[in-house]
Structure 1
């Protein structure tokens, strides 16, 4: 019911071979690492758990437990979810993850991108902290004298494919966006031409409102690649949020890393959870700071909505799924919600487990480099699964 009515997913496709692989791993310790294109992905992992008849635990952001006045938190906790407080060194959550992974046959689902990024067949860079948790659990096994036992990272890919003709819904969605952004319908050109006109106009409006200076010739040059302007707009929003909160970015951080860092910081500031060590006066100051910072959440959600987008995303592969990805982003920006819907099939693919035992020697010599290499191997494995599971 949740998949059909909440996610517009009519079918979940899991191959018999992948189910056989999962069942063969019933006694293995697994950190299950899927991509995260939509908010419906946890339900697909639960469907995989049911189909393979294997219980999973799920690491979820603390704020997810507050939905429906806490009722949603009670439900997902009973289904195996536990929380992590973003923006903090949540030692209790880290400890729980390590303990669960060290259990015989323990299986924990963590989304290594850390964000819903709204692209059906590409990835955001994986966060190395996910693999690090698995290596820490391996350390725990060794400290318990269980040298011969191991943990594996399991790459999983989820992809959505429309099962109905989306020509009319896409045309209707573009017409609504044209009225809102351009002030008129613009039926000339194909769907991609219309999508691009809307995107260019929206980007120009954002640049004007935030005072971003762009060469006027670039704005009107036909066929100009918009990626540079889009990256600059994202940077301006992130730098603005950092300046207003007194947050400093460190080192050579990528845009996704900067976004995660400032979002975690803002979440920590705006969290309503009382702190046991704060005095009454300190709590008052904290609430005042939270009130000043909360308006920035809209800017940061705007960046998160567009973090993975480059100008050639649809042009490189103009599928209905990619068109829908960008249309939904535009709708969220303009209307505050994605309105385009169409029934989809969800494909879940499972890759070969990556046994951490094969990294043991290099991990002893250089922990950080080994964790980074393992993270890259995991990301490549998930992307390969996506590339081999195209919509038909």
Structure 2
């Protein structure tokens, strides 16, 4: 979350010469190799996207979002379909350095404000779909999570944008808007044992453990995860707790959110018990967004003093930690289903939490699979139920990810 300056919309560069130059010299290929460890790729069913391009449809690409590499990896799909893309990107990505901001804009990225309404970004997304010059990438999960095999709840803003664009395009030129679900799956290109052992030993050393335990890789990973959760419990609860890890995780999430909501004077939904697991995930994400919006408002409107600003920063950190803890789903490391990619994701997620940066020394192969076009109706979504269009996107993405997850190597 950017608190150094208020949000300012950043439009994309619409000139096709820049992305052509970047593709021609394979600049983002090198970046992916160096910064994200993605060394090779494979586009499946890219001709489906090309067919929509040839028809002149407004095209919304709806991929899963498990790694920071995802937006650039989709550049390979753009290259395969011979059509550049636009992409909606969180505003904080334009504030990580001048080069990243410059490159994102030149590749067709434009900003969106996650802490509040952003009419300019919304209107531009709709207009891009109506004009149908390039496909538009919107990540329906909203944020990245490093759980490649599990799809998080989808944001309904994606289908709202698509339906609005479908109505406008139909009136303007009688054309159509379609959604292509796109599944991205990362596979380890080589055995992970040596890499995983070295990374776990680094964390263990920072925890003060004298020697690496003689445990299988799965048990060793779970042991480190339990230790890091205990550290967070001591930090926020005063002591570590006992019991199953999922229950301890959920209790810490609830403490982080409810205490932060109280400090900010927000009405909490903690007493409302979500009926299903999916509802619980949506509830946490909604509460995190409300906290971040409140912090942004108080920071830029409330004229806080230094002590109040320090408290507001702590509120953001607590909310972000609650959301991060959601990225450790139940049963992801079950002995019966655990794969090498799940171990890599878990270790890298722990490194980001503990060190602020993940090691990318394990080479990855990206599979980008495009699904059939889903026609977007012009009618508004029905009220009181999930948009059927969003349901269809979720089911298609879930099916593809479930199938692709079986291509990873089971942990030996």
TM-score, normalized by length of structure 1? 0.85
Equivalent of 1:53, from 59, 82, 86?
82
Residue 228 of structure 1: aligned partner: 247
8 Å contact from structure 2 (residues 241, 248) kept in 1:
no
8 Å contact from structure 2 (residues 64, 397) kept in 1:
yes
1:182-197 → structure 2 map (5 Å cutoff): 183-197=209-223
**1:302 & 1:287 partners in 2: Cα distance?**
23
Give the 3 Å change call, closer, same or farther, for CA 56–211 of structure 1 in structure 2. same
Quick check: 1:377 aligned with 2:405?
A: no
Equivalent of 2:126, from 86, 94, 98?
98
Quick check: 1:151 aligned with 2:177?
A: yes
Give the 3 Å change call, closer, same or farther, for CA 330–376 of structure 1 in structure 2. same
1:107-256 → structure 2 map (5 Å cutoff): 107-142=135-170, 144=171, 146=173, 148-181=174-207, 183-211=209-237, 216=242, 218=243, 225-249=244-268, 254-256=280-282
Question: RMSD value over aligned CA atoms?
Answer: 2.7
Equivalent of 2:362, from 342, 345, 351?
342
**1:60 & 1:272 partners in 2: Cα distance?**
24
* 1:316-345 deviation per Cα after TM superposition (whole angstroms, max 9, x unaligned): 422111011111122222222223521111
Residue 311 of structure 2: aligned partner: 292
Displacement, 1:351?
0.6
Structure 1 residue matching 2:100: 3-state secondary structure? helix
**1:5 & 1:348 partners in 2: Cα distance?**
20
Residue 39 of structure 1: aligned partner: 68
TM-score, normalized by length of structure 2? 0.81
8 Å contact from structure 1 (residues 31, 134) kept in 2:
yes
Structure 1 residue matching 2:387: 3-state secondary structure? helix
Residue 352 of structure 1: aligned partner: 372
* 1:9-52 deviation per Cα after TM superposition (whole angstroms, max 9, x unaligned): 1111113xx12212111122111100110101000112211221
Residue 31 of structure 2: aligned partner: 2
8 Å contact from structure 1 (residues 59, 81) kept in 2:
yes
8 Å contact from structure 1 (residues 269, 289) kept in 2:
no
8 Å contact from structure 1 (residues 138, 151) kept in 2:
yes
Structure 2 residue matching 1:388: 3-state secondary structure? helix
Structure 2 residue matching 1:14: 3-state secondary structure? strand
**2:299 & 2:318 partners in 1: Cα distance?**
23
Give the 3 Å change call, closer, same or farther, for CA 161–73 of structure 1 in structure 2. same
Structure 1: tracts of 5 or more residues without a match: 219-224, 275-281
8 Å contact from structure 1 (residues 324, 340) kept in 2:
no
**2:176 & 2:360 partners in 1: Cα distance?**
45
Give the 3 Å change call, closer, same or farther, for CA 165–331 of structure 1 in structure 2. same
Displacement, 1:368?
5.3
Displacement, 1:348?
0.4
Give the 3 Å change call, closer, same or farther, for CA 126–149 of structure 1 in structure 2. same
Structure 2: tracts of 5 or more residues without a match: 1-29
Displacement, 1:350?
0.4
**Stretch deviating more after TM superposition (205-214 or 187-196):** 205-214
Displacement, 1:106?
4.6
8 Å contact from structure 1 (residues 36, 113) kept in 2:
yes
* 1:88-142 deviation per Cα after TM superposition (whole angstroms, max 9, x unaligned): 1111111111111111355210101111101121111111111111112223235
Quick check: 1:22 aligned with 2:53?
A: no
**1:40 & 1:194 partners in 2: Cα distance?**
27
**2:99 & 2:359 partners in 1: Cα distance?**
26
Structure 2 residue matching 1:160: 3-state secondary structure? strand
Equivalent of 1:312, from 326, 331, 334?
331
Give the 3 Å change call, closer, same or farther, for CA 323–313 of structure 1 in structure 2. same
Give the 3 Å change call, closer, same or farther, for CA 367–55 of structure 1 in structure 2. farther
Query: Moved runs in structure 1, 4+ residues, more than 6 A?
Result: 212-215, 271-274
Displacement, 1:387?
2.1
Displacement, 1:231?
1.5
Quick check: 1:332 aligned with 2:358?
A: no
**2:46 & 2:218 partners in 1: Cα distance?**
38
